Amino acid sequence: MSKRILILCLAIIMSFASAYAKEVRIIVRGKYFQPVEQDFIDIYGKGMIYGGEINISVWKRIDIWAGVDYFSNKGELTFSKEETEIQIIPIYGGIKYRLSKGMLNPYIGLGLGYFLYKETNPIGTVEKGNIGYITQLGCLIKIMEGLFLDIHGAYNYCRVKPADKEANLGGLQGGIGLGFEF
């Protein structure tokens, strides 16, 4: 139930924010994902995350943002060495503060997300989700009117307990995106 409530709240907030929008930015990006837990790295390794985000400027240098990412990787189970696969899809939203406006727009962002995950292997399939958080730090670099690069880093945290062991699906991310502003 909490997933539906969070997604509904994000949709309502973005709808109200777009009514008062001064600027809207849409970003597509790729990020390198460095999980924080060694057990996660041992089984699934590190890898690329792909996603997108929408930012709506609502007041001076304050934005409301929402986005979704996708991570998928294969690995092998610790004991049996059989193949296992994980997919993580965080759907998140929050507030972002831009430190300045102009050709360079550094920013910091905070948000909440619902992290859907699916783990598939010969033992079975687990599909669950949980609420976590995300922090962002980056800089928008204007290339030309309406077009910019987004160089950023992020950290997310989401504790889950798919079976009898608790794990963190989060980690450090760094990447680049291409965005359009209107």
Three-state DSSP at 101 gives coil
Under the banding of pLDDT at 50, 70 and 90, the label for residue 51 is: very high
pLDDT tens by residue, 128-166: 999 999 999 999 999 999 999 999 999 999 999 877 778
b/e per residue 13-23 (b: at least 16 CB within 10 A): bbeebeeebee
pLDDT at 20 over 80: no
Among 65, 63, 61, 86, which Cα is nearest to 74's? 86
User: Residue 44: what are its φ and ψ, rounded to 5°?
Assistant: -110, -15
pLDDT tens by residue, 62-81: 999 999 999 999 999 878 88
Structural domain for 89, as ranges = 2-181
Query: In angstroms, what CA-CA distances link 41 with 75, 119, 170?
Result: 9, 15, 11
Three-state DSSP at 21 gives coil
- Dist. CA 153–CA 150, nearest whole Å: 10
49 close to 30: Cβ distance less than 8 angstroms? yes
Q: What pLDDT does 11 receive? A: 66
Q: What pLDDT does 161 receive? A: 85
Among 76, 68, 75, which Cα is nearest to 51's? 68
**Residue 174 maps to which CATH number?**
2.40.160.20
DSSP 122-134: TTEEEEEEEEEEE
Three-state DSSP at 14 gives helix
Q: How many domains does the chain have?
A: 1
pTM comes to: 0.86
User: Residue 37: what are its φ and ψ, rounded to 5°?
Assistant: -95, 130
